[in-house]
Chains A and B, each alone.
Chain A
C-alpha cells in the first residue's frame, strides 16, 4: 500500500516539475525580451520611420510590413483552406486517395519554413514575376499556414453533429444548402480560431519572407502589393547580423522583438476571444 502512494507522489512530482520548468522558461524569455526591449519602446518607436542608418527612429515600416504580409496571407489561405477542408470532409468519398491527401497535408505542416521560402522565390517571385513583394511574401506565408487552416477547419467541421446534417437533408435541402446554412455557421468559430492561431505563427516567420518579400531598409512605406517591405522578424535578424552600430542597434532589435511578441500574443488573444464568444452561444 505504502509503495503505491510513494509512486503516485513521485509521479506527480515529476509531472509538476516538468510544468514548472516549461513555465519558467517561458517566463524567462518574456522577462528577457521585455527588460531588454522596453527601454526603446515608446510611441515614437511605434509610429516613426527609422533614421540615421537604423540607429535611431522607429519601426513603423516593419510593423506595417508584417501587417500587410499577414493580411495578404490570410486573404489567400483562409478561403482556399476552408474550401479544401469542406471538400475533404463533406464531399469527397472517404477512401485511399483522401487518406493519402490528408497525409500529404499533414506532412506539408512539417516542412521547414525555409523550404517554403525557396518555393516562394521560385514560383511567385520568378515564375509569376511578382518580384520581391508583399504579394510574393504573403502568398508564401499563406501556403505555410494552409495545412494549419485545413486541419483546424476539418476538425471543426467534423465536430458538427451528423444529426444536424441529417435533419437538414431530410427537409429537402441540398448538400450545399446544408453546408452553407447548418454546417458552416456551427463550425465557423473553430475555423476562425484555428486560422488566427496559424496567422500568429506566420507573423513571426522569417525564412519564408527572406527571399520573397523583405528588404533591409526602406525609407518609404509600401504603396502597393508589388513593393518590397520591411517586416518585424526580418528587421530583428537584419539588425543583429548586418548592423554596423551594435551599441545603438541591438536595443532596437530587442524593442522590435518585444513588439513582435506582443503582436503575436495580441493575435492569439483575438482567437481566444472569438472562441469564447461562440462557445458561450453554443449549447450542443
Chain B
C-alpha cells in the first residue's frame, strides 16, 4: 500500500470556532476513502483543506501538516495553484461555467497551458468526456451551453472538467447530494472506474454510498476523527459505540 495524501494533526478554525480538531489520517493511492459524519461535523472543511480551497475563505486558520507524496503542501508559502493543479475537486452542487460543453472541459487545459494546438485539445476533451461516460450523450452538441444539460450530466461534466487536467487526486464533496438515484448510481459507478487512475476522497452524508464506493472510511463528529478503518470493517464491526449508533441511523 502506498500513501498518497497524509494528514497530520490538522486543526482548522473559522474565526474563533474550531471546525477541525487534531485530525490525522492517510489516504491510500488508487483507493476510495470516504468521509462520513453528521451535518456540520467538518467533512467539507476537512476535504477542502487538502486542495487549499479554505484559503479563499476569509478568517480561516489552519495548522498541522498535509503532504502529497511525502511533500508538504500545507504551509503558508506553498504555491496553492500548483497544489490545486495536482488535486482536483468536484463540488456539492454541479457548477459548470456558463460556457459551452466543450469549453468547460477545455478550460483547465487552456489556463494551465497543457496542450499544444487544437487537435490535442479536441482529443483531450473527448477523452475526458469518454472517461465520464458523457461522450455519447453530448458528442453532437459540444457547442451547446453546459447549462442545458440535466443535473446529473452537469455533475459528470464537472467531473470530466476536473479529470481533463489529469490530477493525481480527485476530491468529491458530496457530489450526489443534489441528484436523483439514477444519476447517483452513474456517478458511483464512475468513481469505481476512476480509482484505477486516481486517488479519490469523497465526502458523503449517505452511509450506503460510503459503503458502496469506498475501501476506507473516516467518521468525523464535531470536528474530531472518531474512527478510521477499512469500510467493510467499520460497517460490520465498528470499534466505537458512537460510530455504530451513527451508521445504524440512531442519530445524524
Chain A residues at the B interface, C-beta cutoff of 8 Å: 93-94, 161, 163-174, 177, 181-182, 186, 282-284
User: Contact at B56–A169, with CB atoms within 8 Å?
Assistant: yes
A161, A169, A172, A282: most-surrounded residue (chain B CB, <10 A): A172
- Which chain B residues lie closer than 8 Å to A167 at the CB level? 91, 95-97, 158, 161
Q: Given B95, B111, B145, B161, which contacts A166 in the complex, CB threshold below 8 Å?
A: B95
Q: Measured between C-beta atoms, what is the minimum distance from B164 to chain A in Å?
A: 8
A174 to B162, CA, bound (A): 16
Q: Given B107, B158, B165, which contacts A181 in the complex, CB threshold below 8 Å?
A: B107
User: Contact at A172–B85, with CB atoms within 8 Å?
Assistant: yes
A-facing mask of B35-79, CB < 8 A → 1, else 0?
A: 000000000000000010100101000000000000000000000
User: Contact at B111–A177, with CB atoms within 8 Å?
Assistant: yes
| Contacts known (A163-B91, A186-B98, A283-B98); A169 close to B53, Cβ less than 8 A | yes
- Which chain B residues lie closer than 8 Å to A165 at the CB level? 56
Q: Measured between C-beta atoms, what is the minimum distance from B178 to chain A in Å?
A: 12
User: Contact at B111–A170, with CB atoms within 8 Å?
Assistant: no
User: Contact at B84–A172, with CB atoms within 8 Å?
Assistant: yes
User: Contact at A172–B98, with CB atoms within 8 Å?
Assistant: no
User: Contact at A282–B162, with CB atoms within 8 Å?
Assistant: no
- Which chain B residues lie closer than 8 Å to A166 at the CB level? 53, 56, 91, 95
Residue of B nearest to A283 (CB): B147
B93 interface contact, C-beta 8 A:
yes
Q: Closest 4 A-B residue pairs measured CB to CB?
A: A172-B85, A171-B108, A163-B95, A170-B89
A77 to B51, CA, bound (A): 38
- Which chain B residues lie closer than 8 Å to A168 at the CB level? 97, 107, 111
B185 interface contact, C-beta 8 A:
no
- Which chain B residues lie closer than 8 Å to A163 at the CB level? 91, 93, 95
Q: List 10 A-B contacts (CB under 8 A).
A: A163-B91, A164-B98, A168-B111, A171-B111, A171-B161, A172-B85, A172-B165, A282-B98, A283-B98, A284-B98
Residue of A nearest to B82 (CB): A172
B152 interface contact, C-beta 8 A:
no
A168 to B96, CA, bound (A): 10
- Which chain B residues lie closer than 8 Å to A284 at the CB level? 98, 147
User: What's the interface size class on B, roughly?
Assistant: 20 to 34
User: Contact at B84–A170, with CB atoms within 8 Å?
Assistant: yes
| Contacts known (A170-B51, A171-B161); A164 close to B81, Cβ less than 8 A | no
B88, B95, B145, B147: most-surrounded residue (chain A CB, <10 A): B95
B206 interface contact, C-beta 8 A:
no
Q: Given B82, B93, B98, B165, which contacts A171 in the complex, CB threshold below 8 Å?
A: B165
A12 to B82, CA, bound (A): 60
- Which chain A residues lie closer than 8 Å to B9 at the CB level? none
User: Contact at A170–B88, with CB atoms within 8 Å?
Assistant: yes
Q: Measured between C-beta atoms, what is the minimum distance from B166 to chain A in Å?
A: 11
- Which chain B residues lie closer than 8 Å to A164 at the CB level? 95, 97-98
| Contacts known (A163-B91, A177-B111, A181-B111); A170 close to B97, Cβ less than 8 A | no
B239 interface contact, C-beta 8 A:
no
Q: A172-B81, A172-B112, A173-B107 are in contact. List 5 more A-B contacts (CB 8 A).
A: A166-B56, A166-B91, A171-B161, A172-B165, A283-B98
- Which chain B residues lie closer than 8 Å to A171 at the CB level? 84-85, 88, 107-108, 111-112, 161-162, 165
- Which chain A residues lie closer than 8 Å to B58 at the CB level? 93-94
A182 to B107, CA, bound (A): 10
A57 to B96, CA, bound (A): 59
Q: Measured between C-beta atoms, what is the minimum distance from A250 to chain B in Å?
A: 54
A161 to B93, CA, bound (A): 12
Q: Measured between C-beta atoms, what is the minimum distance from B198 to chain A in Å?
A: 15
- Which chain A residues lie closer than 8 Å to B51 at the CB level? 170
- Which chain A residues lie closer than 8 Å to B145 at the CB level? 283
A163 to B173, CA, bound (A): 13
- Which chain B residues lie closer than 8 Å to A173 at the CB level? 81, 107-108, 111-112
User: Contact at A161–B112, with CB atoms within 8 Å?
Assistant: no
- Which chain B residues lie closer than 8 Å to A182 at the CB level? 97
- Which chain A residues lie closer than 8 Å to B82 at the CB level? 172
A-facing mask of B83-103, CB < 8 A → 1, else 0?
A: 011001101010111100000
- Which chain B residues lie closer than 8 Å to A174 at the CB level? 81, 111
A171 to B96, CA, bound (A): 12
